[in-house]
Structure 1
Amino acid sequence: MNSEMKLVIFIEVQAGQAEQQIALYNKVKPLVLAEAGCLQYEMRRVTGSDVHFVLIELWTSQDALTLHEQTLHMKEADALSLSFRVGPAKVIQLSRL
């Protein structure tokens, strides 16, 4: 049984705040990719939108994802994102067919 965890995270920022989101992503990306169990951490802007982004994460297991959520850099990023996001990110967990 494959225990990989794949997430698609929808992010909306306030108008004029896209650069804040991009800067935060660029800051935490190398830290996240260095975490044990991280297989993918990639953010893209939604085509044609100045305020919508999608983050794709792939983790080796739920345990790895849980540890990721408890890291200091992610707690700090989550707190900072409150200042420029419209609301909480929408997280969707995917499973294999």
Structure 2
Amino acid sequence: MPQAIRLHITTLPGRGQEQIDAYGRLAPLVRAERGCLQYDLHRFVGGPDRFVLTELRSSSEALAANAAGPTFRAGPARVIEVEAEPVAWADEGGRRPPARRLISPG
């Protein structure tokens, strides 16, 4: 059964373009992974530093393989370093893990 993840991302003020640039470098690598059906970043209208990242994998096994793979380990270093708030996500069933701060703002 396909597995979806939705990440809500808020960057530090004025750093939204860095998120877009990092996503642009990472997206082709993630999309080439076995079981990746979708990997899309959307910017909020009127919110230049707010995004939603939608990822869809073909199965829970494909999602687990991604989490153990090199793009997952490399991705946060390139993408998440500009986060100002914890990343909030939910799987297809609406389950959410406890939020954690990825970097300190300021």
Same fold, TM-score > 0.5, yes or no: yes
CA RMSD, Structure 1 to Structure 2 (Å): 1.4
Counterpart residue identity of residue 32, structure 1: V
SS for the counterpart of 2:42 is: strand
Residue 47 (1) aligns with residue 45 (2): yes
Relative contact order higher in (CA < 8 Å, ≥ 6 apart): 1
Counterpart residue identity of residue 38, structure 2: Q
Which range moves more in the overlay, 76-85 or 28-37? Answer: 76-85
Mapped to 2, the partners of 1:82 and 1:29 lie a distance apart of 14
Aligned to 1:13: 11
Aligned to 2:88: 90
SS for the counterpart of 2:63 is: helix
Which range moves more in the overlay, 84-93 or 4-13? Answer: 84-93
Mapped to 1, the partners of 2:44 and 2:90 lie a distance apart of 16
Is the 8 Å Cα contact of residues 23 and 79 (structure 2) preserved in structure 1?
no
Mapped to 2, the partners of 1:27 and 1:82 lie a distance apart of 13
Mapped to 2, the partners of 1:73 and 1:20 lie a distance apart of 18
Aligned to 1:68: 66
Q: How many residues align?
A: 93
Unaligned runs of 5+ in 2: 94-106
SS for the counterpart of 1:58 is: strand
Give the alignment's TM-score, normalised by structure 2. 0.80
